[in-house]
Amino acid sequence: MKHQVAVDPESVITGTITVSVNRSIGAWIRRTGSSGTRWIRLGPSLHWSSTGDILPVRAGPSLDTRNIFAGGLSVHDTQEQVVLVDAEDREIGVGAKDHVHRCGSLHRAFSIFVFDGRGNLLLQRRANSKYHSAGLWSNTCCGHPRPGESTRTAPHRRLREEMGFDCDLVDIFSFIYRAELENGIVEHEYDHVFLGEYDGTPSVDPMEVAEWKFVPMSTLIPDIGARPDDYTYWLKAILRSSAKNVGRRLKTRAA
């Protein structure tokens, strides 16, 4: 028995299944089972098949594919666009985030480091449903400016979306890095690093953030050295090159 299913609000299917996205966008489907986890690209003409499972496929009326879960199955929307740049951060075009993260094109990004008044860094652990670096500890928040969105405005938007708060942010430096991650993902970013201060309690989006904590730098740096695989590549890259700079700028800003 074979079923073809557009991702509709309440569908339950058994037997041999094929799941497709009934939109003109692509998507990534994450399947976790006894054989491990794998990601497969979906699109209007691309399908993913499995056998023997009962998979309730659920989505809201707007079909926000970032929030679709079906047991061990999740679907990630690839419609988001990012800004392509040259080595001087000059905009040269736009591209689908999915495609850009597969081909390794240089694109604009930001990383936010928020400290409390005592100098502890707010870390987040990325949700297990994230399509790369899932479950790893990282800096407070990261993201990409949208086409037409300024690099100074985008971090505030993303901080509110992921962590449920906003604060003053200072752009302290930028750098370029390239990293080949799991699932064929290549992060090649012109990354703007922002610094902020916040003493409240985050209200995180559980689809993005599994948990959070404030950690003193004197504890974080040794722990990264002892357990590097628990942390995202970009967090380690930024701290290797700039831990003293981040701390110095924080003290200057607080003075």
Residue 105's alpha-carbon distances to 6, 155, 183, 213, 235, in angstroms, are 31, 21, 16, 33, 20
52 and 82 Cβ atoms separated by less than 8 Å: no
Hey, is 236 helix, strand or coil? helix
Hey, is 149 helix, strand or coil? coil
- H helical segments located in 77-187: 97-103, 154-163
Nearest 5°: CA angle at 189, between 187 and 191? 130
Phi, psi of 224 (to 5 degrees): -60, -40
| Marked catalytic residue, from 141, 162, 187, 189 | 189
Measure the CA–CA gap between 83 and 229, rounded to whole angstroms. Answer: 29
110 HSE (CA, 13 A, CB side): 27
**Is-catalytic flag, 142?**
yes
| Marked catalytic residue, from 141, 142, 187, 197 | 142
164 and 204 Cβ atoms separated by less than 8 Å: yes
**Is-catalytic flag, 167?**
no
Which residue numbers are catalytic?
A: 142, 189
